[in-house]
Amino acid sequence: MYDRSDRTDRTDTDLLGIYLNDHLAGATLGTDRARSLAESEAERDPALADAVGPIADEIAEDRADLLRIMRSLDVPVRRYKIVAGRLAERVGRLKANGRVVRRSPLAPMLELELLRLGVEGKAAVWRTLRRLADADARLDPVHLDGLLERAERHLETLEQLRLRQVTETFQPWNGAPTASQGSRA
């Protein structure tokens, strides 16, 4: 069981500040990752780029909304967390992907999964703030409901794109073993 006395050196506001700054770092990573995916796929898969582009713009808007909410709650922005989010996004581009010179066909699928996870986190912060809005007049429940609806739309779209990418990425396989894969029986 959780003992509230473990927090004697932190106020609820301090904890909310830590929580929101962690989500701001994630929003920074998500904004950069979504834009990068849209740009990197512009030539290879224009349909994917066209679908992710508007989501990237809305993720950036959501990040701006989070900053406005933090200001309204008098939560200071911890710049080092923003820098950490940007650094993590750039380091993530360096991961081994089975290709040395060109972009791996696996990359868009993995990036869509990462974006989907980020949007899950974004939806969680909106749900948390929505619950807090019942007791804090500085939070607009109607606006938070709208942000949550948008996150849910993003989740649905990203999952559709991810499933399409699964089919494209693993196209030769399509569920049936090829001669080189042999029988699975």
> Kindly report the CA angle at 32 between 28 and 34, in degrees rounded to 5?
115
Domain extents for the chain?
A: 12-94+106-169
> Kindly report the CA angle at 19 between 151 and 139, in degrees rounded to 5?
60
pLDDT tens figures, 2-20: 454 444 444 577 899 999 9
pLDDT tens figures, 126-185: 999 999 999 999 999 999 999 999 999 999 999 999 999 999 888 766 555 555 444 444
pTM for the whole thing?
Answer: 0.77
Task: Please give the CATH topology (third level) of the domain spanning 12-94+106-169.
Answer: Ferritin (1.20.1260)
pLDDT tens figures, 88-138: 666 555 555 554 556 677 889 999 999 999 999 999 999 999 999 999 999
Tokens matching residue 165 = 């990418």
